Amino acid sequence: MSALNSKVWAIVAIVLLIVGFAGGYFSGMAAVPAKPAETVTVTETATTTVTQPATAAEPIKIGVLLELSGDLGPIGQRMLLGAKLAAQQINEQGGFGGRKVQLFIEDGETDTNKAVEAVKKLVEVQGVRIIVGPMISPSTLAVAKYVNDRKVVCISPSATAAKISELGDDYIFRVVGSDAFQSQALIDLIKQGGYEKIATFVVNNDYGIGFEEAFVKEFGDKVVVTIRYDAAKGDYRTELEQVKASGAEAVMFVGYPQSGTTIFRQALDMGLDNIAWFAAEGIAEKVMFKDPKAAEFMAKVAMVGTKPASPTGYAHDLFVKRHREVFGKDPDLYADYTYDATMLAIMAVAQAKSYSGEDIRAALKDVSTRYVGATGYKVFDENGDPMFFDYEVWKVVKTAEGYDFAIIGRWNAATGLVLKE
């Protein structure tokens, strides 16, 4: 890594001592004072970039593809802050070897066709060879052939579908675990209730269908109705009537905030608050509480679910502290994963022999073996998946201030489900 300047390496050395991994894990948590919110160095233009002098060394070009509008827009906009924070921290230290980070940010619009167009723009117009994203599983699968054919690296911060692992040893990586494991966490959670009649209510894409298939395989005849909903439909009374008519004692819901808000609001109106509801991480975001009726429903049924865990400890605490200092608020769902994906992308480009997908891919695999960040160890397996991961179990509760997601347990493949007493 001879291209990295001495100041950045000094920070790396300090971080290694703090985190305690003398063997070489780089947390990416540069110990520098953060700038106040009004002086964040990332500026929005038609193509968002981190500003740099015209005479600067060749920039580290990173594409960022998140859902900044549509059903997942509220989550994607908050995730973007993680990418911006990573770029700012590197640039405040003069970059890597004088190379500043330049972010090219595109909106996937929660639409696979738009995501494909955005990736083509990043690659063919902006000349990007590594992308943080796509954010969602359907878009990740939709762009896979295009980026693999052109040897463009993608690091998704939040695409969880099990099918992504089946792509094998290619140019698609992710810093979050597969739903093959999260579905098992939800299954273990639901088993505790001893339900004999279960409904699955999932968004009609690879993300939702993957959960549905896992549940049908596990529970068999106990699944009395399977519903795949259109996120763009806007009215779900027909689907909710199917749940009601089935006599289900519990519902496993997998969806997104905008459509999920409508579903829960209508479920409250239809009296479906007298059965148990479980959910995956797609709705584990406080934006769900903006609609009073949806929030009331989630609290009334004491909705329980799972989401990828954010590790506790120094590295994550430092990320949260910097996020508060720069943006004036705590990070939301997947912002920390986006931070880690962006930092890994930056480090891979800095280490790569050239700005080509092949060299960046090789560097990324090497960098991941020495990186521990806001979300923990990020070493990749042969499928580009993280080798270490676990999930938090959350429950919606009503508080004096309103509503919140209370963490009531954890799950991982080694320990299984462990709930707090």
| pLDDT at residue number 401 | 87
Q: Indicate whether 385 belongs to any domain.
A: no
Give, for 394, the enclosing helix (H) or strand (E): strand 391-399
| pLDDT at residue number 53 | 39
Which residue has tokens 């997942």?
72
- 187 and 128, same structural domain? no
pLDDT digits (tens, 9 = 90+) for 178-212: 998 999 999 999 999 999 999 999 999 999 999 99
pTM: 0.80
Residue 220: domain span: 180-302+391-419
5 pLDDT above the threshold of 70: no
Torsion, Cα 53 54 57 58, to 10 degrees, reads 120
Give pairs for 31-36: CB < 8 Å, separation 24+: 31/318, 32/89, 32/92, 32/93, 34/88, 34/89, 34/322, 34/325, 34/326, 35/88, 35/92, 35/326, 36/325, 36/326
Strands 130-132 and 153-156: parallel
| pLDDT at residue number 42 | 38
Model confidence band, residue 46 (pLDDT cutoffs 50, 70, 90): very low
Q: Report the number of distinct structural domains present in the chain.
A: 2
- 42 and 121, same structural domain? yes
**Worst-scoring range by mean pLDDT, 55-64, 214-223, 282-291, 343-352?**
55-64
- 128 and 25, same structural domain? yes
Model confidence band, residue 313 (pLDDT cutoffs 50, 70, 90): confident
Q: Indicate whether 384 belongs to any domain.
A: no
| pLDDT at residue number 24 | 30
- 102 and 46, same structural domain? yes
| pLDDT at residue number 30 | 35
Gap between the Cα atoms of 207 and 404, Å rounded: 25
| pLDDT at residue number 152 | 98
State the CATH number of the domain containing residue 290. 3.40.50.2300
- 141 and 40, same structural domain? yes
| pLDDT at residue number 372 | 87
Per-chain mean pLDDT for the chain: 87
pLDDT digits (tens, 9 = 90+) for 382-414: 999 998 888 999 999 999 889 999 999 999 888
Model confidence band, residue 56 (pLDDT cutoffs 50, 70, 90): very low
Model confidence band, residue 31 (pLDDT cutoffs 50, 70, 90): very low
pLDDT digits (tens, 9 = 90+) for 142-158: 999 999 999 999 999 99
